[in-house]
Structure 1
């Protein structure tokens, strides 16, 4: 299969927009916008995040052994765009957008996110261009569970509406 055909088909798969964050051994916070994130198991509570190895998070999370998955609300689209590299801000400067605190593991958590999952890294698996982070969820935060979710599909941001 050629990559353009695959990419075109995958653009039609809607995904929740998240910002996956970590803090390096040097104490520097890093984050990246990601849609390849999902729950793995309930026992133990765990999530999977697939992160491009070329990003700071993809390089640092396996060493720092922690990360936080922040599920964004529609109103947090500027945060998604910032951590996707669509602004001039880089590295730790990106945390100027949004209200960030530290989780118990030390990873940054976004105030007002629909849900956040503070994780200890259980395993990191390299595959092609990405690292698959498997995290044991130590704590969840649901600050904004009634908000409209931010969704990414067909190359753009949107939200959901009732199918009823």
Structure 2
């Protein structure tokens, strides 16, 4: 959702493929160079960055461009359906709908299949569903917000890269 890497939910990425900033900190630049030396240039990808000003401007209600590639799984409970996860591959689902192993298919929004006691549903999620208010990104946002209070929203950025 943020950087366009492993974008199974099909969001328009906010800050994809910007590369390592020329003025990145010495510590970030050194770590990046060290990882390239250890792992090779092909081991790291998706290097990019985002400012606190950009994070603050996010429309968290914006929906993804298409339904999530992972079908959402639900199980019946005494209180109704409860989401239990997302699946990118389920042998039971594949057999029920005639998919071959590794076959990738997009399903229309709202499509549903009941397979045994599991309901599979095609869902388009919103940004707030991908990065929740109480989720793992909150300590990062808090640190950026604290730094921005001292240095300004445009002067605080998060630099990221990904490995395989």
TM-score band w.r.t. shorter chain? under 0.3
Larger of the two Rg values belongs to structure: 2
Greater fraction strand: 1
Q: Structure 2 length as normaliser, TM-score?
A: 0.21
| TM-score, structure 1 normalization | 0.21
Structure with the bigger percentage of helix = 2
